[in-house]
């Protein structure tokens, strides 16, 4: 009878723990949800408008761009480190920098009447619904 070391059985059944951790890291970082972690938001909907509140800390107002096309609103921003880049010896680095964006399906809105405000890292957008998309109710006879 041949004995198989426990380590080989574990790696065959469970995979290599280090390899799995690295794979999971890259799946999480480059998944669709990665931008949602960089740009978390709340969306409120009522009969007349959609209100979006987004956290965009560390970004200057001039670096935020908001586009609307075919029922989708895209919020994009660029976060710059702000200090001169030098070789640093980080033990851990979680503060993201660079370009990121988030696209939200908002349907038919009157973008010309939309309002936006950015203060203290919070972006607030008020998007009035287009007349043809407002909720209407049929009264039965």
pLDDT at residue 21, as a whole number: 58
Q: Do 88 and 21 belong to one domain?
A: no
pLDDT at residue 33, as a whole number: 47
Residue 139 lies in a domain: no
Q: Do 50 and 114 belong to one domain?
A: yes
Q: Do 20 and 45 belong to one domain?
A: no
d(CA 36, CA 22): 21
In this structure, are residues 26 and 99 in contact, taking their beta carbons and an 8 Å threshold?
no
pLDDT at residue 132, as a whole number: 80
Number of domains in the chain: 2
pLDDT at residue 115, as a whole number: 96
Give the pLDDT means over successive 10-residue stretches in the chain (141 positions): 52 51 53 59 94 92 94 90 66 79 93 95 95 76 83
Q: Which domain holds residue 13?
A: 1-31
Q: Do 102 and 82 belong to one domain?
A: yes
Residue 19 lies in a domain: yes
Q: Do 65 and 104 belong to one domain?
A: yes
In this structure, are residues 81 and 58 in contact, taking their beta carbons and an 8 Å threshold?
no
Rg of the chain in Å (alpha carbons): 23
Q: Do 14 and 48 belong to one domain?
A: no
């Amino acid at each position: 009878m041949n004995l198989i070391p426990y380590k080989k059985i574990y790696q065959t059944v469970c995979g290599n723990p280090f390899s799995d951790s690295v794979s999971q890291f890259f799946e999480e970082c480059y998944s669709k949800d990665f931008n949602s972690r960089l740009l978390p938001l709340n969306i409120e909907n009522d009969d007349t408008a959609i209100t979006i509140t987004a956290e965009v800390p560390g970004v200057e107002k001039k670096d935020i761009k908001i586009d609307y096309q075919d029922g989708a609103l895209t919020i994009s921003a660029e976060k710059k480190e702000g200090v001169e880049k030098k070789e640093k010896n980080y033990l851990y680095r979680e503060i993201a920098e660079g370009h990121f964006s988030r696209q939200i399906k908002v349907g038919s809105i009157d973008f010309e009447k939309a309002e936006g405000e950015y203060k203290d890292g919070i972006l607030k957008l008020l998007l009035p619904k287009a007349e043809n998309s407002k909720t209407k109710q049929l009264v039965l006879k």
